[in-house]
Chains A and B, each alone.
Chain A
Amino acid sequence: MDSRRIVNSIATITTAVAAFAVVGVLVIILSYISYQGVSSLSWQFLVETPKPVGEGGGIGNAIVGSLIMLGLASLLGVPIGVAVGTYLSEMGDGWFGTTVRFVADTLIGVPSIVFGVFIYALVVLQQGYFSTLAGSLALALIMIPIITRTTEEMTKLVPKTMREGALALGAPQWRVTLDIVLPAALSGIATGVMLAVARVLGETAPLLFTAFGSRFYNIYLDEPMASLTVQIYNYAISPFDEWHDKAWAATMVLVGMILLINITMRYVTRKRY
């Protein structure tokens, strides 16, 4: 074999091994979670509220709490993030755009607990109680910069010639953005939203200071709210084996939820043309 082929084989094998290593770790984590959690998984576990040790109990209220807070956070974070990202990509060439971009980049790197403390000071202390709303706000703050930056990058990938094609037909700028650029970037933007959703669904720290947690089903915005991650935390730090198993099972549910949301998003925003 000549040296070019040898180099080629080495490079192929190295990258393949790296790829398998990454996927392998993921498979190990997922199977270990399933192995540990599947024994505690049952219908009761999925619908009941937490109970004292030995009396069963589940994560029903935590699932609902996580979904409600994720929904509220997305309702706030997705439109703002997409709007800011679109602004940056279409009009953000000046000093203002540069500043916003820098701030967004910095916020992405800020540890999530900081957002929790921020909302704690700004909302929880002012109102005097932990609440669903405070939790959702903290999550929304985490989502916005992630969605902003991915939206900007994905929107910038839309070819300039496509924009010019629409402008040349007498389309005003705002219609070009709305009718041509955003639809063309949709699946990329969806990826950004998914990243943000997966990130906040797995957040615990910012919720400890804001939504706090709850042992009951709750749908009110001005009361403390349970969440899967905080429930996992509570189960996991307890000294009881039974609760440890519940923590594994809850983790399994959390991962499953992220997977389900991911697949749904992909399907809804799939490329049609």
Chain B
Amino acid sequence: MSKISVTDLNFYYGKAQALYNISIEIPEREVVAFIGPSGCGKSTFLRTLNRMNDTIPLTRAEGKVLIDGEDIYRPNTDVVKLRRRVGMVFQKSNPFPKSIFENVAYGIRINRIHSDKADLNGRVEKALRDAALWEEVKDRLQSSAFGLSGGQQQRLCIARALAVQPEVVLMDEPASALDPSATQKIEELVVQLKQQYTIVIVTHNMQQAARVSDRTAFFMLGKLIEYNPTQKMFTNPDEQLTEDYITGRFG
């Protein structure tokens, strides 16, 4: 069974329809990349998977989004619990105005995952290690998160998301504002995290999708045009549109 299974999802911002009949299966512990031109709905779709779009007024979703077989759009779904299981990393790093330690500890604290102070420290350290940030910040855990560089801030946000032990991690163009070496670190991280998490990553960078993902989904104008193993997608796509986009004939 797929980790995430979406059937005939339509999504509306007020009267404007943003997604049309999306159906997709995302297997557990794989990396799936969403590509497509700006405004094609890939970020909107990503945000339906943890119901982050609920925070935008007048939005509406129709269709089924199953995670582990449970429809997350059922009326009695606990959105808070859902978001703990489905973590998210945003395009622009968004650390809290707290210390580095407290940024990572926040999710652990509010979900009461830790047993005692030592356990909390251990979990924060593990999350920072998993996000490949520990060595750079271990001596200044109590200083402000805003003192970190852009790439470090983004890895801090990844650590923060990992600290609550989610099952799925959604990443919305996590490296779009970073320089090449910081981007490379994030990409290596994504590949490693695959062993423990199911990862969905939105990217504008075709090479990035090719490098990190097992499967790729190509969106255009709110429709899912093609969804295939990345290897096939980038060598021998089924659709002419996909080939045109990947080879840069439009975009």
Contacts and interface: CB of A to CB of B under 8 A. Distances in A.
Interface of A: 93, 159, 161-172, 175, 179-180, 183-184, 271-273
Contact of A169 (B99, B110, B146): B110
A179 B110 contact: yes
22 contacts: A93-B57, A159-B94, A162-B96, A164-B52, A164-B90, A165-B157, A168-B50, A168-B52, A168-B83, A168-B87, A168-B90, A168-B161, A169-B83, A169-B84, A169-B106, A169-B164, A170-B107, A171-B80, A171-B110, A179-B106, A180-B96, A273-B97
A183 to B, nearest CB: 6
Interface string B38-57: 00000000000010100101
Contact of A161 (B80, B81, B90): B90
A169 B92 contact: no
Nearest to A165: B94
B240 interface: no
Interface string B146-159: 10000000000100
B76 to A, nearest CB: 16
B94 A169 contact: no
Contacts of A167: 52, 55, 83
A183 B106 CA distance: 14
A271 B92 CA distance: 22
B106 A166 contact: yes
B228 interface: no
B172 to A, nearest CB: 10
Contacts of B146: 273
Classify the secondary structure of A's interface with B. Answer: helix
Question: Which of A169, A183, A273 has most chain B Cβ within 10 Å?
Answer: A169
Given A93-B57, A179-B106, A165 B96 contact: yes
Nearest to A160: B55
Given A161-B90, A162-B97, A273-B144, 12 more contacts: A165-B96, A166-B96, A168-B87, A168-B90, A169-B83, A169-B84, A169-B160, A170-B83, A172-B110, A179-B110, A184-B97, A273-B97
Contacts, number: 73
Contacts of A184: 96-97
A175 B107 CA distance: 11
The 7 closest A-B pairs by CB, nearest first: A170-B84, A169-B107, A168-B88, A273-B144, A161-B94, A165-B94, A273-B97
Contacts of A165: 90, 94-96, 157, 160
B85 to A, nearest CB: 8
Given A164-B55, A180-B96, A273-B99, A170 B111 contact: yes
A94 to B, nearest CB: 10
Contacts of B57: 93
B97 to A, nearest CB: 5
Contact of A162 (B84, B87, B94, B164): B94
Contacts of A168: 50, 52, 83, 87-88, 90, 161
Contacts of B84: 169-170
Contacts of B110: 169-172, 175, 179
A159 B83 CA distance: 20
Nearest to B164: A169
A170 B145 contact: no
A164 B99 contact: no
Contacts of A93: 57
Contacts of B88: 164, 168
Given A93-B57, A164-B52, A273-B145, A172 B80 contact: yes
A172 to B, nearest CB: 5
B211 interface: no
A164 B144 CA distance: 20
A93 B92 CA distance: 26
A183 B97 contact: yes
B98 interface: yes
Contacts of A273: 97-99, 144-146
B240 to A, nearest CB: 37
Contacts of A170: 80-81, 83-84, 107, 110-111, 164
Contacts of B164: 169-170
